[in-house]
Chains A and B, each alone.
Chain A
Amino acid sequence: MFLYYIRLGLRSLRRNPVLTILMMLSIGFGVAASITSYAVLRVTSTNPIPQKSSQLFAVQIDNTGPKYNFHGEPFDSLSYIDAMALLDAGKAQRQTALYPVEVSVIPDDPSGIPFNARTYAVYSTAFEMFEIPFIYGHGWSTREDQDRIPVVVISRSVNDKLFKGENSVGRTIHLDGHSYAIAGVMDTWDPEPLYVDPSNSSSFGNPIELFIPFTHAVNIKLPSGGNVNCAKDPGNGWEAWLSSECTWVLYFAELPNEVAARRYHEFLFNYAADQQRSGRFDWPANVRLRNVEEWLAYHQVVPPEAKLSLMVSLGILISCIVNTAGLLLAKFIRRSPEIGLRRALGASRRSVHEQFLIEAMTVGLGGGIFGLLLILGIIKFVVGLVFDPSIARLVHATSGIISITLLVAILATVFAALYPVWRAARVEPTVHLKLG
């Protein structure tokens, strides 16, 4: 019976090709628009480290007071004083201070052209905290942290560029006139969005290529390559800079469970309250401890364009469903004589329902296929136009997207068909037989 209905459906679709194509276009377009927007929204709102996002926390301490902070929110980064105080206290299971630095990689070959690499200064704990994978070697140890040794962890891409992908552990590279021993080569590590530092440059931009020890970077006076906020002038010289109230050090703590997180929050609060008592802060303790998801939500890494286009395309989908409903109604009612005949020959309402729903589903399937073609075209030509290239590179037509598209197309058409089908099945056999 099912196959028979499909054949009936196809025949009826062929009888009225313009109407059929119009319906398929309508469904296809509505589905394509909404699924593409959904795909973009999904890649921008994925959790970059799902297994650990509730255990990694960004730490903020207000060291500027209500006059300078942002609607009561402390700056994203800490002053060097606060970061060092937290590190010395060592209250979290693991913790790291980090900051972006601007260095250039200088090839050994004198004719080689120097290039920039996205670099962060971190502590040795960072590799475990952020679960950074290695192909060769590993991160450095706490000894290198303490002794401020110039070591470096390089990305796979830098290793490919400089050493043609060979194991380069133990060799040296030159960054701005300093030489560094390679401790490890990362495997591809590209968390999207880059949760460790959403405020500096694009969160969906290039991955981090080099890590050097924080202690060494401070030792050779590398300035921050990211946002720096100074409520008071730091004064002259590096020592003055380190003891200033300028904020430029990002700080992450790993806390295994809620109890630990609560305790750490208390510790932070007490620390800030102590600063107030000692006269350094003349405002009440104002601290934040945000886990990765809260941190990303706070930074609104999902571009507003993505949400806006999802809203608009949902509107389009609704509009297309209404459109299809109208066309289906026209089509079905026009076939009242046929329905009357079938009913008179003993077909139940139920079988009329079935027949027309299946016909609608074939329309939905056709619309879905058309929508898929559209999506492939949109992903290829339009997403790159509308969204930043760093986001566009993440949007692909996965099997998930393909099946969702077909499913949504069919569901949307069936939904659009509900009323027309109900109307069709209400046809009284006798009326149309007489007229016919």
Chain B
Amino acid sequence: MQVPLIFAALRRHKSTTLLMVLQIALALAIVSNTLFIIQERISLSRRPTGLNERNLLTIQNVWANADIGPITSLAQSDLLALRHIPGVADATQMNSFPLVATGWREAVHLDPDPAPAKWITQGQIYASDEHTLSTLGIKLIAGRDFRSEEIAESDQKSLTPPAVIIITKALADKIYPNEVAIGKPVYLTISDDIRPSVIIGIVEQLTSPFSRARSYRETSILIPAHIAGKRSFYLVRSSEGQLTTVAKAAPEALLAVSHMRILSGRGAIRTFSQVRADAYRDDRSLAIMMGMVCVVLLTITAGGIVGLNTFMIDRRRRQTGIRRALGGTHRDILTFFLIENLIISIGGAALGVLLAYWLDIALMRTFQMERLSPAYVGIGVAVLLFLGMLSTLAPALRASQIPPIEAMRSV
């Protein structure tokens, strides 16, 4: 019954109504897109690596000596020293690990012909030993782990294809779909020497060292090797609750083995949760900033709606008074203004949905983002309708208190 009346009223306040509609539409477009970006970034930064990330310490060791000769034996002493630290469950040496942002890939062939055209996919190479799976907490779902006598000691340039390898399930499904991959060969072009590497184990998951990897993220290969080089990584699993003590003791233990190394600087000693935080730092902080933007934008929009509503309602003091004098109840007045705002908000939301998708198309084109999911537009609409109601409530309540005598006064 009130609705035709409201439309008549709105027609008399065209510009204010239009500004409110526009304001709500803009806020909706921005809020739904930023919420979507926040969700996207957060879910990106939570992607699993296949590791048990709790109680895991990472150490980047850089030898301050170019002589590769003694590095092999030094690294072995390092590992022994690390395993002797109280609270250490296991330790391993690797060339790379998930989210560390350095590593190398090899083409995977299924026949011995190394012609470039014949590779099937690429595998992320993790040089590992018989302690790697247990230290990292990677789940072996078929086959067996490496044995200590299988681990090659080599430098990068003289590395040859390993006789045995462990691969991820994703890689096994890719190269031997619908077959048992254990015991089957693959060919890695690690050197001129063409030799099959037999798959002896399959792990559930082990992802790429690159947090933003789009291709070859899940196809990883563990090879049994310690690669002697200037830079390598030690990963250490501590027993429950011992991570901080181990992190403190580890550099001391290593420096006791040899002084000629660099263990300082950003990224030298990190727990795995720090590694993850560093890898996804940009995404997390973008999400935080977008969150702040949303809150402030909504506050300002709400303030604007309160301001405009107060003004629109104030201008109709006299009409409101007349209505009261003619028998309109408090409730009538209150619902009148609330419904009026609802109509404006719905108009704004309708325009806002169009704007949101338009903005989304622009963002997709520039930043290769996913398509905006309707859920976020829905959330945005709900938030703005609620905000609109909330910011009308105070001025509308005040209006409902206008005494009928107001009608007698001139303005």
Q: Is the CB of B286 within 8 A of A309?
A: yes
Tell me which residues across on chain A come within 8 A of B286, comparing CB atoms. Answer: 305, 308-309, 386
- Report the separation of the CA atoms of residues A325 and B190 in the bound assembly, to the nearest whole angstrom: 67
Min CB distance B172 to A, Å, is 24
Q: Is the CB of B64 within 8 A of A233?
A: no
Q: Is the CB of A114 within 8 A of B261?
A: yes
Partner of A236, one of B64, B191, B300: B191
Tell me which residues across on chain B come within 8 A of A320, comparing CB atoms. Answer: 300
Q: Is the CB of A385 within 8 A of B285?
A: yes
Q: What interface size band does chain B fall in? A: 35 or more
Cβ-based interface call for A22 (8 A)? yes
Partner of A237, one of B157, B289, B314: B157
Cβ-based interface call for A316 (8 A)? yes
Cβ-based interface call for A318 (8 A)? yes
Q: Is the CB of B192 within 8 A of A68?
A: no
Cβ-based interface call for B328 (8 A)? no
Q: Is the CB of B62 within 8 A of A315?
A: no
Q: Is the CB of B26 within 8 A of A104?
A: no
- Report the separation of the CA atoms of residues A320 and B300 in the bound assembly, to the nearest whole angstrom: 8
Min CB distance B270 to A, Å, is 16
Q: Is the CB of B16 within 8 A of A326?
A: yes
- Of A84-92, A263-271, A328-336, the one touching chain B: A328-336
- A102-B116 in contact given A312-B290, A330-B308 (Cβ < 8 Å): no
- A114-B262 in contact given A25-B303, A178-B66 (Cβ < 8 Å): yes
Tell me which residues across on chain B come within 8 A of A307, comparing CB atoms. Answer: 366-367
Q: Is the CB of B307 within 8 A of A319?
A: no
A-B contacts, 22 of them at CB < 8 A, read A29-B296, A102-B62, A104-B63, A104-B262, A176-B65, A223-B157, A231-B116, A233-B192, A235-B191, A236-B191, A303-B282, A308-B286, A312-B34, A312-B293, A320-B300, A322-B19, A323-B301, A323-B303, A326-B20, A385-B289, A386-B286, A435-B410
Number of chain A residues close to chain B: CB under 8 A: 67
Cβ-based interface call for B354 (8 A)? no
- Report the separation of the CA atoms of residues A29 and B366 in the bound assembly, to the nearest whole angstrom: 25
Q: Is the CB of B314 within 8 A of A334?
A: yes
What 0/1 readout, one digit per residue, does chain B (115-133) give for beta carbons within 8 Å of chain A?
0110000000000000000
Q: Is the CB of B304 within 8 A of A65?
A: no
Tell me which residues across on chain A come within 8 A of B191, comparing CB atoms. Answer: 233, 235-236
- Report the separation of the CA atoms of residues A320 and B303 in the bound assembly, to the nearest whole angstrom: 11
Q: Is the CB of A26 within 8 A of B282?
A: no
Tell me which residues across on chain A come within 8 A of B67, comparing CB atoms. Answer: 177
- Report the separation of the CA atoms of residues A129 and B312 in the bound assembly, to the nearest whole angstrom: 67
Min CB distance B225 to A, Å, is 15
- Report the separation of the CA atoms of residues A67 and B115 in the bound assembly, to the nearest whole angstrom: 11
Cβ-based interface call for A14 (8 A)? no
- Report the separation of the CA atoms of residues A231 and B114 in the bound assembly, to the nearest whole angstrom: 11
What 0/1 readout, one digit per residue, does chain A (281-315) give for beta carbons within 8 Å of chain B?
00000000000000000000001110111011101
Cβ-based interface call for B323 (8 A)? no
- Report the separation of the CA atoms of residues A388 and B101 in the bound assembly, to the nearest whole angstrom: 15
